């Protein structure tokens, strides 16, 4: 029987190309296109940040004014809408909350009123739906900034017929960000104090919006199968492992895809010499051009190792520093592009001193340079401590640059070591979180590099694979249908899905106390 198209609203705090701080924006900006291609009626909604207006994205006001309560006070907003290649994009506009220099904070740190900002956003999204001539069947939520919506759906709005047909699916992009606020924020959020319990949003005498989303969403996803398993363990659950285990039957891992129109070495305007799977000549020319651009010796036969990353301990950048002197004893060149932890930035700046013909350290964010690095490098290093999905290794595979990764999260799901599977391997992996273990993997890669035929086989294998959103969109479609089919089986109002009642003090979620 033919599957009927669904009405799907993607709700996210950031969406490419309008506003971006990380990979969440890429997912929220790319998945809708794959769903639309499969025949679904998709829309997107996000806050109307200052950067959106400054980037020239015009979005006229549409519909009636939005009036909701935040901190028990009326807050007014406006709905703005623009067409984005056939996908309607709605923006929630409130200058007091969103006309700021950053999305979530500035140089001083997170904005202290983030609870109020995203309480307004979540309530405004639900309010705006009543003014549209379009009612979604699926609300696809993303991270803690949107997690208040399933809480409201299952509590305040549980008896509202208008919302009863909507199913909620929430994606956890990075469990490390949990929307933690002091108990007083319960009033800010406009929630009943009865939700401030261990069976609700209370978390170590504070409240967690992410916890609320996890407990009340109809289905949960995260961005790779391995990360889905990892976050249910004490070692990688960030204190939420018990909460997640309590909902394991509603938790699924779906690997992120790549926008292969946006990331395409045969049509990338940033590359001086485009190339494809059928003709790799341009890749060698791009390597020489990159070496010239960055002041490195132009040596076709010298392996060029690269990192394009946020400089952060989570990304394993300290492992590179740990073996720095040993690494440079190999006949390699090294390129780094990224910003982040000031201490790591200072340490990498020191790494270049006296080595400008061998090492290029670029402490900035430059997307066009990143594309030339992906194209010109031979080996991309991604030594993350944990990685929910990862985008860099997917881009590297698409551009014929072989990834070397720590086997965790989405890195484990997308990179197979050639030593483990010589016929299907597309990169190199290591397990132990030590510089020595990483260096062993680098040595294995350098040995293969000397065999040009086998190296090109691995390159072509990576380029030939399907890294697009197509397969992931099919899986999301299946989960959306499951959520819709299960919506009539929701827990009785006021109860928590997955409640088990075990543990100290009747704690239902092992590991949270």
In order along its 513 residues, the chain shows pLDDT tens digits of 357 999 999 999 999 999 998 889 999 999 999 999 999 999 999 999 999 999 999 999 998 899 999 988 999 999 999 999 999 999 999 999 999 999 999 988 999 999 999 999 999 999 999 999 999 999 999 999 999 999 999 999 998 999 998 999 999 999 999 999 999 999 999 999 999 999 999 999 999 999 999 999 999 999 999 999 999 999 999 999 999 999 999 999 999 999 999 999 999 999 999 999 999 999 999 999 999 999 999 999 999 999 999 999 999 999 999 999 999 999 999 999 999 999 999 999 999 999 999 999 999 989 999 999 999 999 999 999 999 999 999 999 999 999 999 999 999 999 999 999 999 999 999 999 999 999 999 999 999 999 999 999 999 999 999 999 999 999 999 999 999 998 766 544 444 443 333 322 222 322 222
Helix or strand holding residue 350 (H, E): helix 342-351
Bridge pairing between strands 202-203 and 66-70: unpaired
Bridge pairing between strands 304-308 and 333-337: parallel
Q: For residues 2 and 254, what is the distance between their CA atoms, to the nearest angstrom? A: 24
**Among candidate residues 363, 234, 357, the one with its CA nearest the CA of residue 302:** 357
Give the tokens for residue 381.
Answer: 């290093």
Q: What is the CATH number of domain 7-257+473-506?
A: 3.40.50.2000
Q: For residues 7 and 443, what is the distance between their CA atoms, to the nearest angstrom? A: 51
Q: For residues 114 and 105, what is the distance between their CA atoms, to the nearest angstrom? A: 9
Bridge pairing between strands 109-110 and 105-106: antiparallel
Give the tokens for residue 503.
Answer: 């543990």
Buried b (16+ CB within 10 A) or exposed e, 5-29: ebebbbbbbbbbebbbeebbbbbbb
Q: Do residues 456 and 396 lie in contact, with contact meaning Cβ atoms separated by under 8 Å?
A: no
Bridge pairing between strands 251-253 and 219-222: parallel
| CATH top-level class of 281-464 | alpha beta
Q: For residues 409 and 236, what is the distance between their CA atoms, to the nearest angstrom? A: 10
Quick one: CA torsion of 344, 102, 73, 11, rounded to 10 degrees?
-90
Give the tokens for residue 392.
Answer: 């860099």
Give the tokens for residue 163.
Answer: 């919302």
Q: Do residues 371 and 400 lie in contact, with contact meaning Cβ atoms separated by under 8 Å?
A: no
Q: Is 331 exposed, middle or buried (0-12, 13-18, 19+ CB in 10 A)?
A: exposed
Q: For residues 187 and 185, what is the distance between their CA atoms, to the nearest angstrom? A: 5
CA end-to-end distance (rounded Å), the chain: 48
- From its phi and psi, is residue 335 left (phi > 0), alpha (psi between -120 and 50) or beta? beta
Residue 162: C-alpha distances to residues 126, 127, 131, 158 (Å) = 10, 11, 12, 10
Q: Do residues 498 and 246 lie in contact, with contact meaning Cβ atoms separated by under 8 Å?
A: yes
Q: Do domains 7-257+473-506 and 281-464 have the same CATH topology?
A: yes
Give the tokens for residue 142.
Answer: 């993303």
Residues 6+ apart with CB under 8 A from 112: none
Domain ranges of the chain: 7-257+473-506, 281-464
Q: For residues 513 and 511, what is the distance between their CA atoms, to the nearest angstrom? A: 6
């Amino acid at each position: 029987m033919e599957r009927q198209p669904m009405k799907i609203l993607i709700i996210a705090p950031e969406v490419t190309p309008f506003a971006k701080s990380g990979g969440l924006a890429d997912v929220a900006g790319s998945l809708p296109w794959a769903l639309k291609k499969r025949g679904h009626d998709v829309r997107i909604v996000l806050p109307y940040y200052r950067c959106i207006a400054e980037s020239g994205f015009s979005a006229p006001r549409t519909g009636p004014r939005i009036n909701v309560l935040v901190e028990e006070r009326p807050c007014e907003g406006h709905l703005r809408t623009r067409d984005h290649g056939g996908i309607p994009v709605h923006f929630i506009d409130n200058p007091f909350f969103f006309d700021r220099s950053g999305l979530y904070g500035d140089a001083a740190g997170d904005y202290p009123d983030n609870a109020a900002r995203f309480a307004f956003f979540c309530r405004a999204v639900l309010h705006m739906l009543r003014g549209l001539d379009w009612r979604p069947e699926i609300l696809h939520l993303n991270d803690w900034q949107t997690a208040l919506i399933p809480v409201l759906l299952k509590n305040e709005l549980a008896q509202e017929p208008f919302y009863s047909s909507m199913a909620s699916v929430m994606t956890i992009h990075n469990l490390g960000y949990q929307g933690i606020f002091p108990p007083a924020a319960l009033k800010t959020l406009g929630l009943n104090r009865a939700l401030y319990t261990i069976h609700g949003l209370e978390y170590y005498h504070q409240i967690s919006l992410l916890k609320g989303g996890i407990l009340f969403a109809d289905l949960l996803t995260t961005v790779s199968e391995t990360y889905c398993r990892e976050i249910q363990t004490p070692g990688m659950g960030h204190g939420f492992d018990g909460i997640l285990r309590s909902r394991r039957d509603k938790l699924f891992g779906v690997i992120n895809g790549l926008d292969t129109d946006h990331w395409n070495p045969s049509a990338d305007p940033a590359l001086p010499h485009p190339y494809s799977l059928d003709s790799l000549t341009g890749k060698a020319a791009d390597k020489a051009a990159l070496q010239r651009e960055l002041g490195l010796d132009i040596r076709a036969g010298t392996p060029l190792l690269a990192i394009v990353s946020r400089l952060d301990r989570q990304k394993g950048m300290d492992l590179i520093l740990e073996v720095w002197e040993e690494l440079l004893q190999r006949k390699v060149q090294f390129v780094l592009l990224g910003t982040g932890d000031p201490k790591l930035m200072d340490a990498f700046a020191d790494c270049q001193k006296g080595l400008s013909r061998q090492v290029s350290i670029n402490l900035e964010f430059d997307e066009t340079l990143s594309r030339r690095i992906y194209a010109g490098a031979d080996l991309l290093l991604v030594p993350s401590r944990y990685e929910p999905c990862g985008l860099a290794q997917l881009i590297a595979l698409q551009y014929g640059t072989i990834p070397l990764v720590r086997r965790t999260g989405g890195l484990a799901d997308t990179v197979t070591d050639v030593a483990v599977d010589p016929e299907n391997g597309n990169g190199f992996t290591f397990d132990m979180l030590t510089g020595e273990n990483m260096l062993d993997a680098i040595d294995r890669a350098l040995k293969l590099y000397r065999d040009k035929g086998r190296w090109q086989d691995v390159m072509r294998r990576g380029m030939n694979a399907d890294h697009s959103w197509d397969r992931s969109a099919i899986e999301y479609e299946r989960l959306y249908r499951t959520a819709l089919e299960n919506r009539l089986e929701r827990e009785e109002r006021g109860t928590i899905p997955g409640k088990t009642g075990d543990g100290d003090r009747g704690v239902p979620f092992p590991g949270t106390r």
